[in-house]
Structures are given as structure tokens and as C-alpha cells.
Amino acid sequence: MNDQLNFLQTTLHSEIPLTRQMGIRVADYSGSELFVHADLAPNINIHGTAFGGSLYSICAAACWGLLHLKLMEQQVAAQIVLAEGEIKYRRPVREDILVRCSLPDSESYDRFIYRARQDRKAAITLDAEILAGNRQAVVFKGHFSSAG
């Protein structure tokens, strides 16, 4: 894992301590996508599948992490928060959890960075998904904001 991903994982575990208990680990980063992994065991429910609240939290943390990395790269010191999240549980997750979070179109991203850089109110929506058995199991849409 490179220094940037190590820093993000350390930040997640120190700033959002629940992520450590959930076994969340930063797996990979492409510049426009962030992959976050979590073991099933600490996130299991009574049915032997991933707990819905855990899936929501892991998706939210992955999206927050992607925005955090992008703001660092752009040298923008904005504080971001999840303002609203929507999730659809399409099928049970019976294996370790891997979230893929993606940036939106470049116009939305550029507008967010521009406004955040000017210390103005900025908003952006990120999408995340979890696959189970190579099929989409969870779809998450996170609406993030940065208050100027």
C-alpha cells in the first residue's frame, strides 16, 4: 500500500474509530475510484450475512475517503460531511465486503473543487457499490457537502 493509502487508512481509523472495529481497510485507488475492503466477521448479522447498517457505513466511509484523497491532491482544506445517503440492498452479502466508490462526471467534480477551494458551500454526490458473487448486491448514493 502506498503512503497516500496508508495515510487515508490511518485517518479513517483515528477520525472515525468505528471503521477500525468494522475491519475497514483501504484496498486500492485509481485516481477516480477508491476500493475499500472489510471482513464479513465483524459485520455479520443473525442470518450469517452482512448487517445492513455495516454495509451503509462502509459505503459512506469509502465515499468520504475518496473525497478526502481528492481534496488532499488538490490541496483544498475543506471539511466534508455526509449530508444524505441513499442505499438499496439488492441481495445478501455472504462474503468479505469490497466497496467500489466512484467520482461523478468531471463537470460536477470540478464545480465541487472550485467552490470548496473558494471556501464556499459545495456539494457533490458519489456512487458506491458492493458486489456479491460478481452480482451487484448494494448500491449507495452519498450526498456530501462542504460548508464554506
The model's pLDDT over 61-108, given as tens digits with 9 standing for 90+, comes to 999 999 999 999 999 999 999 999 999 999 999 999 999 999 999 999
- What one-character DSSP code corresponds to residue 39? -
* Nearest CA-CA partner of 42 in 25, 26, 24, 59: 24
The full set of domain ranges for the chain reads 3-146
Question: Structurally, what CATH architecture does the domain formed by 3-146 represent?
Answer: Roll (3.10)
The model's pLDDT over 102-140, given as tens digits with 9 standing for 90+, comes to 999 999 999 999 999 998 899 999 999 999 989 999 999
Per-residue CA distances from 84 to 30, 42, 76, 104, 144 (Å): 25, 25, 22, 16, 7
Record the pTM: 0.95
